[in-house]
Structure 1
Amino acid sequence: MFPLGLLRLFSILDGLSFVILLYFSIYEKRILGNEDAIRTPGMIHGVIFCAFVILLFFSWDKYKWSLKRAGLVFVCALIPFAPFFLEPSLKREQNSPS
């Protein structure tokens, strides 16, 4: 499972935590006026993102990805909902015989 399986897991967690963070930042903070609404979800998302980046470096090294491939995976972590589209590609790569 390590590191590609963990990268897949943290890719999905990053996508989900970003969607949750968007909810708290738009609805709770802007509409309801709760200024502290994004403190906890923001911290959780930040920790998940940092773990994702660390796992990305491990995967890049272990699977000898090109800079283009590693860059694409990283950019997908920055675009909302992109991790959900990245997941099938990572799953195919994990299941393929090396």
Structure 2
Amino acid sequence: MIDLFKKVAFWEGVSYLLLVFVAMPMKYLAGYPQAVRIVGMAHGVLFVMFCLILADLLRRKEFTFNFSVFAFIMSILPFGTFYLEGKIKSA
């Protein structure tokens, strides 16, 4: 389950960066709001998956409560999930 979590975390991080640094500028600078709808939906699905898997790992006691809170905070920071992956490898 941790391997799945790392994969989802990676793609959630990629989708977040695409949303913030590609789709949003396309919406506000180029007048193309469809970019945010498409990338935003993908990011939303990945974020929900991230949270559900994180909750399951906490329930199974594979992650501590403090680490789960840390992981959630990393998911809302740009580049945070990539930092999180390093923390998971070292844990």
Tell me, yes or no, whether TM beats 0.5.
yes
- TM-score of the superposed pair, with normalisation by structure 1: 0.84
Deviation, 1:64, is 4.6
Whole-Å separation in 2 of the counterparts to 1:81 and 1:40? 20
Which residue of 1 is the match for residue 10 of structure 2? Answer: 12
Q: Which runs of 4+ in 1 moved over 3 A?
A: none
- Percentage identity across paired residues of the two chains: 26
What are the Cα deviations for residues 47-80 of structure 1, in whole angstroms up to 9, with x where unaligned? Answer: 0000010100111122353321110011100111
Q: Are 1:68 and 2:69 matched, yes or no?
A: no
Which residue of 2 is the match for residue 78 of structure 1? Answer: 76
Deviation, 1:41, is 0.6
RMSD over equivalenced CA pairs, Å = 1.3
- Unmatched segments (≥5 aa) in structure 2: none
Higher relative contact order (CA 8 A, sep 6+): 1
Work out which of the residue numbers 24, 34, 37 in structure 2 matches 1:36.
34
Which residue of 1 is the match for residue 44 of structure 2? Answer: 46
Question: Matched residue of 1:65: which SS?
Answer: coil
Whole-Å separation in 2 of the counterparts to 1:43 and 1:59? 24
Aligned letter for 1:62? Answer: R
Q: Are 1:24 and 2:13 matched, yes or no?
A: no
Higher-Rg member (1/2): 1
- Give 1 or 2: higher helix fraction: 2
Aligned letter for 1:4? Answer: I
